[in-house]
């Protein structure tokens, strides 16, 4: 078999393959003999029809089968022999079966790039001094006080700090965004910023027994597309006005929250919790930044085929959700996302090989133990579930990627953030 492999533009490889006539003839005769043994022709028992009749009637079909088989076999051999890491299906640009049986074809395919070495020298991450302000602690204390508050039913009109119990009945919904017709005994916290704006604006001043129709208008860009642009009118009947009685921040309150035996310990635990949350945010930021830095240092070319497949699947998902969208704009918006994701995948796998970073059985076991504890199942149950779902390989990849990220974070120097950078954060 004659083979030529040439580099085309970018990551394209051009193949020229010629398979000797004898190889084709041998395979053709073999296939014809197999067909002769199994086919049944009118007037003949199975396998008893003359071979010349089989040849005449099925020659074209057998030729096509042999061409397809030899193409697949030879292509696999070329890929293996030349160590081509293909990134998609090949495109056949020419195919010829000569009269003497010589089969030749030309094909083009994309390959993944060869990365000689991942450059991670001189990485630097901006780090801010993390501290918890007294105002943040006070806000969290107030949050706990509200959660542990008592309520007193009053006969006076509602104020913006009260909690109302109301019966809600839908009376108008032109867009038919809300399938439920009524919401009896709904608690409406007028002091909560997350409460629907129209309720916070129009329910104050009402008292038990009062009724009012309130129209709720959802913005066109509302996060839940079902309600985007909807206008729903509710008949609101106030059943009770409840004044929130906030508990004093004393030792007894601290014990109720489970965060301390004393009020001082309670506040210290809150400060500690808030600091840990900020540290977690900074770790997530650093993880994202280290990936961005390494990808920008190593601008590995990405084959077009996998990117197009990614965008095609994305468009398909959006269509299945029934949303209206501009397909071209969607592809343009997500193209850099796909490129970065695939580039990082190639980089971290190469870096794991380059630095001999591996996943040990202990790494996998520790992850499974954590998974089991989180889902409140035994370790054996967790392992069985992962194996049944065929997620063990995916799990090892996830652990390995995390180890690569931690390796990079360990190599990066930490540089104090400037005031401007702190403000941006």
DSSP-assigned beta bridge partners for residue 4: 16
d(CA 90, CA 14): 10
Give the model's pLDDT for residue 223: 76
Phi and psi at 41, nearest 5°, equal: -110, 150
Report the top-level CATH class of 150-245.
alpha beta
Give the model's pLDDT for residue 47: 65
Query: Helices 263-297 and 134-147 meet at what angle, rounded to 10?
Result: 120
Mean pLDDT to the nearest integer, 214-235: 86
Mean pLDDT to the nearest integer, 160-189: 91
pLDDT per position as a tens digit, 18-50: 999 999 999 988 888 887 777 777 767 676 777
- Judged by DSSP in three states, 181 sits in coil
Residue 292, pLDDT > 60, answer yes
User: Could you tell me if 195 and 188 are in contact, meaning their C-beta atoms sit under 8 angstroms apart?
Assistant: yes
- Going by C-alpha positions, the residue among 356, 154, 355, 316 that lies closest to residue 242 is 154
pLDDT band at 260 (very low <50, low <70, confident <90, very high): very high
pLDDT band at 139 (very low <50, low <70, confident <90, very high): very high
d(CA 54, CA 39): 9
pLDDT mean across residues, the chain: 90
Mean pLDDT to the nearest integer, 229-247: 92
pLDDT per position as a tens digit, 367-397: 999 989 988 999 999 889 888 888 888 999 9
Give percent of the chain above pLDDT 70.
98
Q: How far is CA 170 from CA 182, 188, 212, 223, 360, in A?
A: 6, 16, 12, 21, 58
Q: pLDDT higher for 156 or 390?
A: 156
Residue 263, pLDDT > 90, answer yes
DSSP letters, 58-75, are: HHHHHHHHHHHHHHHHHH
What torsion, rounded to 10 degrees, do the Cα atoms 138, 142, 143, 147 define?
Answer: 150
User: 68: exposed, middle or buried (C-beta count within 10 Å: 0-12, 13-18, 19+)?
Assistant: exposed
Mean pLDDT to the nearest integer, 213-237: 87
pLDDT band at 424 (very low <50, low <70, confident <90, very high): very low
| CATH, domain range 277-424 | 1.10.3120.10
pLDDT per position as a tens digit, 272-282: 999 999 999 99
Q: CATH classification of 2-110, choosing from 3.40.120.10, 3.30.70.1050, 3.30.70.890, 3.40.47.10?
A: 3.30.70.1050
Chain-centre distance for alpha carbon 120: 26
Q: pLDDT higher for 394 or 417?
A: 394
Q: pLDDT higher for 85 or 54?
A: 85
pLDDT band at 53 (very low <50, low <70, confident <90, very high): confident
- Boundaries of every domain in the chain: 2-110, 150-245, 277-424
Instruction: Detail the DSSP E strand segments found in 327-404.
Output: none
User: Could you tell me if 364 and 399 are in contact, meaning their C-beta atoms sit under 8 angstroms apart?
Assistant: yes
d(CA 323, CA 225): 9
Residue 99, pLDDT > 50, answer yes
pLDDT band at 421 (very low <50, low <70, confident <90, very high): low
Give the model's pLDDT for residue 419: 52
Q: How far is CA 68 from CA 75, 290, 313, in A?
A: 11, 47, 29
Give the model's pLDDT for residue 36: 77
Give the model's pLDDT for residue 78: 94
Give the model's pLDDT for residue 420: 46
Mean pLDDT to the nearest integer, 335-360: 95
Domains 2-110 and 150-245 share a fold: no
User: Could you tell me if 230 and 219 are in contact, meaning their C-beta atoms sit under 8 angstroms apart?
Assistant: no
């Amino acid at each position: 078999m004659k083979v030529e492999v040439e580099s085309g533009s970018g990551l394209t490889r051009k193949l020229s393959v010629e398979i000797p006539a004898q190889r084709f003839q041998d395979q053709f005769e073999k296939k014809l003999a197999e067909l002769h043994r199994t086919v049944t022709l009118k007037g003949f028992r199975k396998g008893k029809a003359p071979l010349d009749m089989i040849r005449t009637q099925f020659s074209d079909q057998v030729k096509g089968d042999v061409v397809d088989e030899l193409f697949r076999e030879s292509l696999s051999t070329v890929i293996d022999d030349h160590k081509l890491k293909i990134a998609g299906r090949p495109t056949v640009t020419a195919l010829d079966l000569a009269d003497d049986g010589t089969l030749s074809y030309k094909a083009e395919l994309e390959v993944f790039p060869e990365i000689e070495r991942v450059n991670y020298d001189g990485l630097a991450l901006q780090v801010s001094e993390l501290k918890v302000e007294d105002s943040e602690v006070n806000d969290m204390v107030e949050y706990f006080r509200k959660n542990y508050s008592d309520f007193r039913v009053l006969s006076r009109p509602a104020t913006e700090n009260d909690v109302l119990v109301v019966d809600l009945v839908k009376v108008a919904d032109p867009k038919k965004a809300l399938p439920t017709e009524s919401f009896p005994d709904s608690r409406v916290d007028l002091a909560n910023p997350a409460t629907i704006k129209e309720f916070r604006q129009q329910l104050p001043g009402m008292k038990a027994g009062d009724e009012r129709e309130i129209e709720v208008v959802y913005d066109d860009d509302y996060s839940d597309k079902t309600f985007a642009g909807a206008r729903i009118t509710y008949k609101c009947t106030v059943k009770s006005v409840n004044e929130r009685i906030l508990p004093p921040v004393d030792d007894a309150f601290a014990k109720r929250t489970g965060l301390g035996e004393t009020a001082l310990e309670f506040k210290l635990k809150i400060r500690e919790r808030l600091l840990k949350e900020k540290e977690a945010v900074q770790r997530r930021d650093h993880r994202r930044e280290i990936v961005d830095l390494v990808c920008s240092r190593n601008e590995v070319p990405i084959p077009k085929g996998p990117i197009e497949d990614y965008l095609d699947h994305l468009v398909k998902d959006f269509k299945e959700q029934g949303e209206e969208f501009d397909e071209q704009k969607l592809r343009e918006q997500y193209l850099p996302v796909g490129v970065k994701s695939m580039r990082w995948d190639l980089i971290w796998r190469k870096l794991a090989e380059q630095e001999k970073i591996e996943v040990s059985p202990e790494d996998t076991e520790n992850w499974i133990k954590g998974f089991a504890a989180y889902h409140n199942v035994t370790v054996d149950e967790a392992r069985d579930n992962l194996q049944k779902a065929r997620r063990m390989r995916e799990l090892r990849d996830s652990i390995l990627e995390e180890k690569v990220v931690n390796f990079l974070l360990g190599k990066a120097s930490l540089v104090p953030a400037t005031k401007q950078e702190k403000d941006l954060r």
